[in-house]
Homo-oligomer: A and B are copies of this chain.
Amino acid sequence: MGVEPAMNRRDSTEQNSGQRQIVSRIDIKTYLRDKRDLIDSFLRSHFSMPLAPATLNDAMVYSLFAGGKRLRPILALASYEACGGDGTEILPYVASLELIHTYSLVHDDLPAMDDDDLRRGKPTNHKVFGEGMAILAGDALLTEAFSLLSDSSRLSSPSPRGVLDETRSRIPPSAVLKVIGEVSMAAGAHGMVGGQAEDLLSEDAAPESEKLSFIHSHKTGALITVSVRMGAILARAGKKNLRALTRYGENIGLAFQIIDDILDIQGNTGELGKTTGSDEKKKKMTYPGLYGIDRSAKKAEELVEEAVGVLQSFRESADPLREIALYITKRRT
Known: A52-B214, A53-B201. Contact between A147 and B188, CB under 8 A? Answer: yes
Q: Oligomeric state, in number of copies?
A: 2
CA distance A140 to B200 in the complex (A): 14
| Nearest CB of B to A294, in Å | 31
The interface size of chain A toward B, counting residues with CB under 8 Å, comes to: 53
Is A189 a contact partner of B142 (Cβ separation < 8 A)?
no
> By the criterion CB–CB under 8 Å, are B200 and A144 in contact?
no
Given A135-B113, A151-B184, A153-B181, verify A198-B146 contact (CB < 8 Å): no
Q: Which residues of B contact A71 (CB under 8 A)?
A: none
Cα A188 to Cα B181 with chains together (Å): 18
A107 to B144, CA, bound (A): 17
- A190 on interface, CB distance cutoff 8 Å: yes
A91 to B142 alpha-carbon distance, docked (Å): 24
Within 175-190 of A, Cβ neighbours of B (below 8 Å) are at 176-178, 180-181, 183-185, 187-190
- A residues contacting B by CB (< 8 A) are 51-53, 55-57, 60, 103, 107, 110, 112-113, 130-133, 135-136, 138-140, 142-144, 146-147, 149-151, 153, 172-174, 176-178, 180-181, 183-185, 187-190, 193-194, 196-198, 200-201, 214
A144 to chain B, nearest CB (A): 5
Q: Give chain B residues whose Cβ lies under 8 Å from the Cβ of A180.
A: 146, 149-151, 180
If A112-B130, A139-B139, A144-B188 are given as contacts, then 19 extra A-B residue pairs at C-beta distance below 8 Å, sorted by A number, are A55-B197, A56-B189, A56-B194, A56-B197, A107-B135, A112-B131, A132-B200, A136-B200, A139-B142, A140-B189, A140-B193, A143-B184, A143-B193, A144-B189, A146-B146, A150-B178, A150-B181, A153-B181, A180-B180
Q: Determine the chain B residues whose CB is within 8 A of the CB of A144 once the complex forms.
A: 184, 188-189
A178 neighbours in B (Cβ, 8 Å):
150
CB distance from A270 to the nearest CB of B (A): 29
Chain B residues lying within 8 Å of A187, measured Cβ to Cβ, are: 143
Q: Choose one: B146, B174, B185, B196; the contact of A136 (CB below 8 Å).
A: B196
Our pick among B176, B184, B190 for the contact of A146 (Cβ within 8 Å) is: B184
